[in-house]
Chains A and B, each alone.
Chain A
Amino acid sequence: GAGVSQSPRYKVAKRGQDVALRCDPISGHVSLFWYQQALGQGPEFLTYFQNEAQLDKSGLPSDRFFAERPEGSVSTLKIQRTQQEDSAVYLCASSLRRWDAGQPQHFGDGTRLSIL
């Protein structure tokens, strides 16, 4: 079956523009995570969805970041009024069940965002 799919793979935007990054999780996966990976660093948690409910958004850096998953499948991460410090790879991950912390998270290839 298909893995986690993210689009676009690369995105270049001018400072101040809005961007939208898309994540298609593995079909049937309940949990969906977004991570931000700065150059040379490990991924850092942004937000978590369980089906359509956003249960944790504690990692979102500012109110310019917004994520949604309206039908419990595809998710979109939106960044408004982009800043240079937003440049990073944005990774999406999904996992099958809600309450099993031992299950692996399956990652997409990420979207590399560059803000000029």
Chain B
Amino acid sequence: AQTVTQSQPEMSVQEAETVTLSCTYDTSESDYYLFWYKQPPSRQMILVIRQEAYKQQNATENRFSVNFQKAAKSFSLKISDSQLGDAAMYFCAYRSAWGSGGSNYKLTFGKGTLLTVNP
């Protein structure tokens, strides 16, 4: 079974600065997807960024980028120019690329990192 570990329960950053959230995972599979989701206090889980394991290039979405190290099984999220609206719980999630009947398409989440942005 796959596991996802987020070792930082809480992080804080000053507005306009950069912060990196850590995530490691354990899997024996070679093909999979990794995601970062943001969950504000309103609770709706919002996709921030997605990485395909077979792609070498790190994914980027505006101010959000990842550092994907497949051999080390590490998938960190960098938020540049942090804004007050970035404050939320951030979850790293893993999803197998293959599986019969869709059973491997479930997301496996880490415990999350609570990000505070200070003005």
Contact = CB atoms under 8 A, between A and B. Distances in A.
Given A42-B91, A45-B108, A107 B44 contact: yes
A105 interface: yes
Contact of A44 (B35, B109, B112): B109
B78 interface: no
B112 A41 contact: yes
Contacts of B109: 42-44
A110 B37 CA distance: 15
Contact of A31 (B52, B105, B110): B105
A42 B103 contact: no
Contacts of B45: 43, 91, 93, 107
Interface in A78-116: 89, 91, 93, 95, 98-99, 101-102, 104-105, 107-110, 112
- For chain B, the bracket of interface size reads 20 to 34
B12 interface: no
Nearest to B112: A42
Contacts, number: 76
A2 interface: no
B119 interface: no
A62 interface: no
Contacts of B110: 42
Interface stretch (A20-28, A48-56, A68-76): A48-56
Contact of A98 (B93, B102, B104, B112): B102
B103 A104 contact: no
A95 B44 CA distance: 15
Contacts of A44: 109
Interface string A1-44: 00100000000000000000000000000010101000011111
Interface of B: 4, 32-33, 35, 37, 42-47, 50, 52, 91, 93, 95-99, 101-112
Give the 8 A-B residue pairs with the shortest CB-CB distance, closest first.
A42-B109, A107-B45, A56-B103, A45-B106, A55-B101, A104-B47, A110-B43, A101-B97
